[in-house]
Amino acid sequence: MSSPLTPEELLDLARQAAARAYAPYSGFPVGAALITDDGRVFQGANIENASYGLGCCAERTAVFHAVFAGAQDVRAIAVWAPRAAPCPPCGACRQVLVEWRPRDGDMDIILEGPDGVMVRSLESLIPLSFGPRNLETEG
Ligand code: THU
């Protein structure tokens, strides 16, 4: 299914989400916005913790928000940070995104590049990944 939102529109929602980040330790707010196969949009921002390692990235906040609402396939996710263009998903988030990649295709990762919007496939960011399909067994 093609997305009812343009990459620019999804990136704008990620920009809005960054305003809701809780990033007092890094001072590096990040926002994310994703669209599911059934056209629902979910946002997230990074939420840090005084115990530093327990913070959660914007992408995972958005994904968990969507999954808790019953979403399954994430068609595209945009990530935006005021201090970095682009702000690509970290390795942990890439692995989490693999879990929600549509069965019939790839997920678009939408970033703000130095010269405008960049769209990359999840496959290009985490090739040969281990995911739910690898746990499917015959019979
Ligand atoms: N962060 C994200 O939320 N997403 C990214 O793609 C990169 C990093 C957060 C984690 C931490 O709260 C802050 O940015 C600095 O690493």
pLDDT of 1 strictly over 60 = no
- pLDDT digits 0-9 by tens, 78-126: 999 999 999 999 999 999 999 999 999 999 999 999 999 999 999 999 9
Q: Is 44 contained in some domain?
A: yes
Catalytic residues: 59
Domain encompassing residue 52: 7-133
Q: Is 83 contained in some domain?
A: yes
Distance of alpha carbon 79 from alpha carbon 127, whole angstroms:
20
Q: Is 91 contained in some domain?
A: yes
Strands 108-113 and 74-80: parallel
Of the CA atoms within 13 Å of residue 119, those in its CB half-sphere come to 12
In this structure, what CATH number is given to the domain that contains residue 31? 3.40.140.10
Query: In one letter, which amino acid is 23?
Result: A
Q: Is 32 contained in some domain?
A: yes
Q: Is 139 contained in some domain?
A: no
Q: Which residues contact 75 (CB under 8 A, 6 or more apart)?
A: 1, 3, 34, 35, 36, 37, 102, 107, 108
Number of domains in the chain: 1
- pLDDT digits 0-9 by tens, 66-80: 999 999 999 999 999
Q: Is 2 contained in some domain?
A: no
Q: Which residue has the least CA distance to atom 4 on ligand 1?
A: 57
Distance of alpha carbon 41 from alpha carbon 16, whole angstroms:
13
Q: What is the mean pLDDT of the chain?
A: 96
Q: Which residue has the least CA distance to atom 14 on ligand 1?
A: 28
- Collapse the DSSP code of 80 into the 3-class scheme (helix H, G, I; strand E, B; otherwise coil) and give the result: strand
CA of 46 to the centre of ligand 1 (A): 6
